[in-house]
Amino acid sequence: MVSRELVWGLALCLCCTLAMALASSSHHGQALEEDVGLSYDYKDALAKAILFFEGQRSGKLPASQRVKWRGDSALNDGQPDNVNLVGGYYDAGDNVKFVWPMAFTVTMLSWAAVEYGNEISSAGALNHLRTAIRWGTDFILQAHTSPTTLYTQVGDGNTDHQCWERPEDLDTPRTLYKITSDSPGSEAAGEAAAALSAASIVFKGVDSKYSKKLLSKSKSLFKFADKYRGIYNESFPFYRSFSGYQDELLWSAAWLYKASGDKKYLNYVVRNQGWSEAVLELSWDTKYPGAQTLLAKEFYDGMKDLSKYVTDVESFICAVMPGSSSAKIDTTAGGLLYLRDSSNLQYVTSSCMVLSVYSKTLTASHVDGIQCGSAHFSASQIKAFAKSQVNYILGNNPMKMSYMVGYGSKYPMQLHHRGSSIPSIYNQPSKVGCGDGWSYYSSNTPNPNQHVGAIVGGPDSNDHFNDQRSSFSQTEPTTYMNAAFVGAVAALLDQTNEEPLQHPQINTLINMADSV
């Protein structure tokens, strides 16, 4: 750990004004100062973040399955409607499959592969990432059973949440929910379209036939979402939409243009850019910053009709960056972005993805940065802040622990996760029924199955973490939290793990100090 005195000393060697800036620095600057010189194995973190998805698999597991405590599960999903809905991912620590957040997970994983495929390939993880994406896209393809039908949920959420049992022992109703032209849900259909179009890019040079199929089905889903507009939660009780469906329509159209090059999708986002809003999060519900980031790249590539998307994504970044005169998101004393008490790290990982990709776009476009009122942030400073958030997750925090299971020497041991907390079916073959698992839930012992790579909800606003299964907002993992982290950590693979104090980091400290 590098002390404040050492940083000051180094800064004095550069210039006395820097020393004065650091002397008045806020805790945001302190967090970055302390980060200097610490070592993080981003390649290991990436590999484990992707491995996590194998522990979330539903259905018949392949011979290549690496998470050995998991077994086959939910092999009859879809039977009530005589459709095949076997496969896909369990959403979080429960045993329900929700297609809307599952599709967002696939979109984020695909975005990581599209933006950082070379780096991920060099790290030896690209094939595993493609496999994780395909496990999700195969299910989405199955769920889109007709041009105006998409199955969006398998399993009754209320009943499932009353049970604590392994997915291998499921005995709760596998109720089916679907959107149709009569009961639409444009958010879910739009996100599914985004997932398939983004994935089609990933597989374009690997499996052209599969890529074409994904793109074709994506177009079908987009048409369904746009023609039969309706708010998802008006018909379904779980995953309530607060942002509406316009963000998903923009997000999916942006991906369809990127995947197909068809100008009708570009014209769609130009024609509807009045929908775009400057918001404070990228999440399974709110896609505006993601769409804006994609379309800002098109702006810098010459599509000047897309300027509003640039304005809006830069408003998001200005709201996120500490030291900005328009900062709207709090940070903890330890320097972590903090939006909500429930599963806060989902917003941190997704914000990091936007910051990293946009900083890459600025650099490639030879733009010197963005202006946030009186504060200016260069591309390297934006990326440095994203890096500080990734490093916080990996251990540079007041608790001195990693919030990724299996990474580092100290990490969460009591994951709020049914399959992880109950002995594996291979070690305890006898059935653990709906109510039988609560004794494992209440136990104070570590989970018997280490869910390697799982990123938990994270600490509270005081940087404190309660490693108890009952603290689900802190200890439950989600697929979409991990998916966003894959891109955020992949963006750092081009950096050495141990690095000296460099000018971009010092400039970040200056900006943060000057803003106080």
CA distance 327 to 515: 10
Concatenating the DSSP letter of every residue in 114-125 gives HHHHHHHHHTT-
**Active site annotation includes 464:** no
CA distance 395 to 358: 25
Contact 223, 147 (CB under 8 A): yes
Write the burial class of residue 186 (CB in 10 Å: 0-12 exposed, 13-18 middle, 19+ buried): buried
Please identify which of the residues 91, 115, 168, 476 carries the catalytic annotation: 476
Write the burial class of residue 235 (CB in 10 Å: 0-12 exposed, 13-18 middle, 19+ buried): middle
What average pLDDT does range 61-65 have in this prediction? 98
Identify the pLDDT of residue 12: 34
- What is the enclosing helix (H) or strand (E) of 371? strand 370-372
What average pLDDT does range 307-335 have in this prediction? 96
Q: Comparing 117-126, 190-199, 221-230, 501-510, which segment has the lowest mean pLDDT?
A: 501-510
User: Residue 321: how many CB atoms within 10 A of its CB?
Assistant: 27
Q: Give residues with Cβ within 8 angstroms of 494, minimum separation 6.
A: 119
**Active site annotation includes 376:** no
- Domains of the chain, by residue range, sit at 38-498
CA distance 362 to 360: 5
Please identify which of the residues 119, 156, 169, 467 carries the catalytic annotation: 467
CATH class of the region 38-498: mainly alpha
For the chain, the 3-state helix, strand and coil shares in percent, each to the nearest 5, are 50, 5, 45
DSSP for residue 447: P
Specify the pTM.
0.90
505 pLDDT exceeds 80?
no
CA atoms within 13 A on the CB side of 199: 36
Contact 188, 103 (CB under 8 A): yes
14 pLDDT exceeds 90?
no
CA distance 118 to 381: 23
Q: Comparing 22-26, 362-366, 489-493, which segment has the lowest mean pLDDT?
A: 22-26
Q: Which residue has the tokens 């086959």?
A: 72
CA distance 177 to 239: 13
Taking only the tens place, the pLDDT of each residue in 438-472 is 999 999 999 999 999 999 999 999 999 999 999 99
Taking only the tens place, the pLDDT of each residue in 75-112 is 999 999 999 999 999 999 999 999 999 999 999 999 99
pLDDT band for 424, please (50, 70, 90 cuts).
Answer: very high
What average pLDDT does range 282-291 have in this prediction? 97
Concatenating the DSSP letter of every residue in 18-29 gives HHHHHHT--HHH
Please report, as a single letter, which amino acid is at residue 110.
Answer: S
Identify the pLDDT of residue 498: 36
**Active site annotation includes 366:** no
Q: Give residues with Cβ within 8 angstroms of 201, minimum separation 6.
A: 110, 114, 211, 258, 259
Please identify which of the residues 144, 416, 417, 451 carries the catalytic annotation: 416
CA distance 215 to 397: 42
